[in-house]
């Protein structure tokens, strides 16, 4: 189980859940430098609707398959490439759980190993709003037998979710859209 308050929650800019989560991890590890949600977003292929073009002038305006936001499922915008290209002393690995049991094992092992973990999932399934069908990312703060505590940059707040619901939300968003667990460690 993780030590509470390991991360200082920050509020995401529109469509920047991934950059906000990554920035929280980089800050926790002391390697954030001058990175901001915008600069991380641009490096990860940020795509926004037309009404946000003035706020994000360098963003793409074609909606990706995973929904508005980053395009990390594409190789040239991947987290691995971002970390390597910018010489950040953090490595990345991706895990897509094939079962609820596997999800629980990955999460427990990763928290015991001191890894930082971002989970990517379907927002509507996770938060019981069937009208919403897009991806979202949050930091995994702690793992208990049946409950996961997430730091959700949308609020920003800590949200508890059952591991069963989180698993359904990961499956719904799908591996092709980078749903699953993103694990980070120092290099």
* Per-residue pLDDT reduced to its tens digit, 28-70: 999 999 999 999 999 999 999 999 999 999 999 999 878 899 9
Only one residue has tokens 């991380």, namely: 40
Please give the pLDDT value at position 4: 52
Q: Is 187 exposed, middle or buried (0-12, 13-18, 19+ CB in 10 A)?
A: exposed
Mean pLDDT, to the nearest integer, of 17-23? 98
Report the alpha-carbon distance of residue 116 to residue 127 in Å, rounded.
22
Q: With contact defined as beta carbons under 8 Å apart, do 42 and 59 qualify?
A: yes
Q: Are 77 and 71 in contact (CB under 8 A)?
A: yes
Supply the CATH classification number for the domain 17-186. Answer: 3.90.70.10
* pLDDT score at 2: 43
Q: DSSP H helical segments within 1-121, as ranges?
A: 17-28, 37-43, 79-85, 100-112
Q: What is residue 38's predicted lDDT score, i.e. its pLDDT? A: 98
pTM above 0.85, yes or no: yes
Q: Pick the closest to residue 174 from 121, 138, 136 (CA basis).
A: 121
% pLDDT > 70, the chain: 97
CA distances from 21 to 12, 29, 139 (A): 8, 13, 6
Q: What is the pLDDT of residue 156?
A: 77
> What confidence tens digit (pLDDT) does each residue in 69-120 have?
999 999 999 999 999 999 999 999 999 999 999 999 999 999 888 899 999 9
Structure tokens at 58: 């360098």
Q: Report the chain's mean pLDDT, rounded to a whole number.
A: 93
pLDDT of residue 5: 65
pLDDT value, residue 67: 85
Per-residue model confidence (pLDDT) at position 3: 47
pLDDT digits (tens, 9 = 90+) for 139-184: 999 999 899 999 999 987 899 999 999 999 999 999 998 999 999 9
Q: What is the pLDDT of residues 116-135, one digit of tens each?
A: 999 999 999 999 998 888 99
How many other CB atoms are found less than 10 A from the CB of residue 68? 19
């Amino acid at each position: 189980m993780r030590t509470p308050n390991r991360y200082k929650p920050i509020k995401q800019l529109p469509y920047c859940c991934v950059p906000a989560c990554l920035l929280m991890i980089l800050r926790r590890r002391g390697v954030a430098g001058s990175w901001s949600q915008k600069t991380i977003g641009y490096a990860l292929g940020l795509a926004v609707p037309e009404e946000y073009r003035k706020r994000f002038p360098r963003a793409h305006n074609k909606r990706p398959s995973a929904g508005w936001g980053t395009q990390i499922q594409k190789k040239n915008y991947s987290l691995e490439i971002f970390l390597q290209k910018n010489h950040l002393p953090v490595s990345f690995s991706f895990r897509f759980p094939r079962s609820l049991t596997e999800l629980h094992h990955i999460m427990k092992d990763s928290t015991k190993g001191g890894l930082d973990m971002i989970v990517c999932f379907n927002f509507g399934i996770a938060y019981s709003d069937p009208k919403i069908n897009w991806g979202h990312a949050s930091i995994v703060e702690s793992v208990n037998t049946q409950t996961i505590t997430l730091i959700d940059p949308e609020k920003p707040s800590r949200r508890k979710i059952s591991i069963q619901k989180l698993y359904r939300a990961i499956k719904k968003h799908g591996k092709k859209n980078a749903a699953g667990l993103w694990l980070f460690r120092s290099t």
